[in-house]
Chains A and B, each alone.
Chain A
Amino acid sequence: MKKTLLALALTAMTMGAAHAEDTLAKIKASGSISLGVRDSSALSYTLGNDKYVGFHTEMAERIIGDLSKAAGKKLDIKYTLVTSQNRIPLVQNGTVDLECGSTTNNAARQKDVDFAYTTYVEVVRIAVRANSGIKSIKDLAGRSVATTTGTTSVQTLRKNERASGIDFKEVYGKDHADSFLLLESGRADAFVMDGSILAKNIASSKNPADFKIVGEELSVEPIACMVRKDDPAFLKAVNDSILHQIKDGSLAKLYDKWFMQPIPPTNRSLNLPMSDATKAAWANPNNKPMEDYAKK
């Protein structure tokens, strides 16, 4: 909460003073770059002691490596922990230069920030206890469904509920671990969330075989790095680095490392093969918002 309030206070102070900043010049002059990271996303998380890892975190470190080459000196990375609530204000006000966590690229956010090429496409799925007999969203009628406060999944769930006329009881966890606990303890019959987050929570649970991911893809969401709006030179530099990482195959190796191989802290594998949607995004790099995916 404190961080959120601080972010709000900062935003309030800089309000009205929005200006197009030249991030490339800024990082070159200061010799450091502020990278926004998350604490418990599947794509970016902390191991404690200010150590941040994950697929998107490591990809961002490589992007910064490329930026260092262009700047002609090694840029010092300042890791800044952001939350769902403060990430956009912090990017806007210049506290964070590059945010690579698990931010969904959607039309509403594109008004406030710019997104780099989509590097991961998330699908929202349903995790249930393996013995529950739930196979699709229709089986959830009258059951309680957990999801996490402050995520797009809440809205996805509501949309599905209204569109299908099915009524279920929603319970909101305060974070992903909390929502998973609701499922684990039996207070919720299902946990609706991004597939990678479900996989991560199942992999780190006491008994992964007790849970499974079922049902249709409730929503498809492109996840991308976020930069300040109206700074085309910096956006291009980030995009060029992503293109280069896709082309030389290093991003695919990175994917394998973080999604198919055992990863810290539990040394278990997420076992999440690359989805067709992610493959398509890499084959044809773009920064289309989530709304464009829904039309298909």
Chain B
Amino acid sequence: MSNWDWQVFCRDTVTGDQVAGCFATGRDQTYLQWMLQAWGMTVTVSLSALLVALIVGSIIGVLRTLPDSPKLVAFGNAWVEFFRNIPLLVQIFIWNYVVPDVIPMTANLPPMVLIILGLGFFTSARVAEQLRSGIQALPRGQRYAGMALGLTTPQYYRFVLLPMAYRIIMPPLTSESMNIFKNSAVAFAVSIPELTQFYLQAGEETGKQIEIYLGVLAAYVLTAMIVNRVMVFIEGRLRVPGMVAAGGMGGH
């Protein structure tokens, strides 16, 4: 058992022969190429879902803090509670099998789109909750100051509240962005050929479960670390000296 066989990644996926240089050409493919392809799928699903989550999450988060619109607040609350209280895997199944049957408009959407929406909406509930906490962390006077200046509600959100709220919530948003990459593993359950699916299939075909597992693990770790670095970079660039919660410097 202790003899590692890393050459397994250079095997052809059909014949099992070793391919020189690890990259086959034409219709042939090595396990490494397959893994890179699966990795691309994971990244595509996650990035698209992250985009959906940020946009929808921001809208819902803002709705939940509106001062004089109980109906919109109620809608925002309902959205968050609905998507937060159902397990992700169950949501993914609902999106893949129930939604196309119930809503005729979605019947011809590819599973990929449905999964991106499912994963995106699940995460949007969490982003919305973070944004709400960010807005509520601001002193109440900020909102009033905006109103006193004669700004409309969209204006004081755009120019007063949100620029500060987003800076406050950058650290939890970083975790959420990393989470969405890891959560994307559920997509294998609805036939998306991503990294987890690759692990299950390639491990079975080659009999080298542990090597394949470690390869996939490295891909996930690398992805999460890149996301983390990008988010930390953005956080640093956005930092305004003297503004609240600027990188844990105690307000300086």
Q: Which residues of A contact B (CB under 8 A)?
A: 8, 11-12, 14-16, 18, 84-85, 88-89, 92, 108-109, 111-112, 146, 149-152, 154-155, 158-159, 162, 170-174, 178, 181-182, 185, 187
Task: Give min CB distance, B96 to chain A, whole Å.
Answer: 9
Residues of B158-175 at the interface with A, using a CB-CB cut-off of 8 Å, are none
Starting from the known contacts A111-B207, A152-B205, 6 additional A-B residue pairs (CB-CB under 8 Å) come to A8-B213, A85-B204, A85-B209, A88-B207, A149-B200, A174-B188
Do A172 and B191 contact each other (CB < 8 Å), given the known contacts A15-B1, A16-B2, A185-B97?
yes
Q: In the complex, are the beta carbons of A112 and B207 less than 8 A apart?
A: yes
User: Can you pick out 17 interface pairs between chain A and chain B where the beta carbons lie within 8 Å of each other?
Assistant: A8-B210, A11-B209, A12-B210, A16-B2, A85-B200, A108-B207, A109-B207, A149-B197, A149-B200, A154-B201, A154-B205, A170-B193, A172-B197, A172-B201, A173-B191, A174-B190, A178-B191
Return chain B residues, CB-CB under 8 Å to A152: 204-205
Q: In the complex, are the beta carbons of A159 and B14 less than 8 A apart?
A: yes
Closest to A165 in B: B27
Return chain B residues, CB-CB under 8 Å to A8: 209-210, 213
Q: In the complex, are the beta carbons of B191 and A182 less than 8 A apart?
A: yes
Closest to B199 in A: A85
Task: Give min CB distance, A41 to chain B, whole Å.
Answer: 14
Q: In the complex, are the beta carbons of A172 and B193 less than 8 A apart?
A: yes
Q: In the complex, are the beta carbons of B97 and A181 less than 8 A apart?
A: yes
Which of B14, B197, B200, B209 interacts with A162 by CB under 8 Å? Answer: B14
B206 is an interface residue with CB less than 8 A from chain A: yes
Q: In the complex, are the beta carbons of A92 and B1 less than 8 A apart?
A: yes
Return chain A residues, CB-CB under 8 Å to B137: none
Q: In the complex, are the beta carbons of A155 and B13 less than 8 A apart?
A: yes
Q: In the complex, are the beta carbons of A108 and B204 less than 8 A apart?
A: no
A252 to B128, CA, bound (A): 63
A15 to B210, CA, bound (A): 11
Task: Give min CB distance, A58 to chain B, whole Å.
Answer: 26
Task: Give min CB distance, A139 to chain B, whole Å.
Answer: 21
List of 9 A-B pairs having minimum Cβ-Cβ separation, nearest first: A16-B2, A150-B204, A15-B1, A171-B191, A108-B207, A150-B200, A174-B189, A18-B1, A149-B200
Residues of B184-200 at the interface with A, using a CB-CB cut-off of 8 Å, are 188-191, 193, 197, 200
How many chain B residues touch A (Cβ–Cβ < 8 Å)? 25
B247 is an interface residue with CB less than 8 A from chain A: no
Q: In the complex, are the beta carbons of A16 and B201 less than 8 A apart?
A: no
A171 to B189, CA, bound (A): 11
Q: Which residues of B contact A (CB under 8 A)?
A: 1-2, 13-14, 16, 27-28, 97, 111, 188-191, 193, 197, 200-201, 203-207, 209-210, 213
Return chain B residues, CB-CB under 8 Å to A174: 188-191
Do A108 and B16 contact each other (CB < 8 Å), given the known contacts A172-B193, A173-B191?
yes
Task: Give min CB distance, B141 to chain A, whole Å.
Answer: 49
Closest to A170 in B: B193
Task: Give min CB distance, A157 to chain B, whole Å.
Answer: 10
Return chain B residues, CB-CB under 8 Å to A187: 111
Return chain B residues, CB-CB under 8 Å to A162: 14, 27-28
Return chain A residues, CB-CB under 8 Å to B213: 8
A283 to B209, CA, bound (A): 35
Return chain A residues, CB-CB under 8 Å to B16: 108
Return chain B residues, CB-CB under 8 Å to A16: 1-2
A152 to B202, CA, bound (A): 10
A108 to B204, CA, bound (A): 11
Return chain A residues, CB-CB under 8 Å to B13: 155, 158
Which of A11, A170, A185 interacts with B210 by CB under 8 Å? Answer: A11
A11 to B206, CA, bound (A): 17
Do A149 and B201 contact each other (CB < 8 Å), given the known contacts A155-B14, A172-B191, A182-B191?
yes
Closest to A108 in B: B207
Return chain A residues, CB-CB under 8 Å to B189: 174, 178
Q: In the complex, are the beta carbons of A11 and B1 less than 8 A apart?
A: yes
Task: Give min CB distance, B213 to chain A, whole Å.
Answer: 6
A80 to B193, CA, bound (A): 29
Q: In the complex, are the beta carbons of B209 and A155 less than 8 A apart?
A: no
Closest to B26 in A: A162
A108 to B197, CA, bound (A): 21
Task: Give min CB distance, B33 to chain A, whole Å.
Answer: 13
Task: Give min CB distance, B97 to chain A, whole Å.
Answer: 7
Task: Give min CB distance, A124 to chain B, whole Å.
Answer: 14
A111 to B27, CA, bound (A): 29
Task: Give min CB distance, A88 to chain B, whole Å.
Answer: 7
Return chain B residues, CB-CB under 8 Å to A170: 193
A185 to B100, CA, bound (A): 11
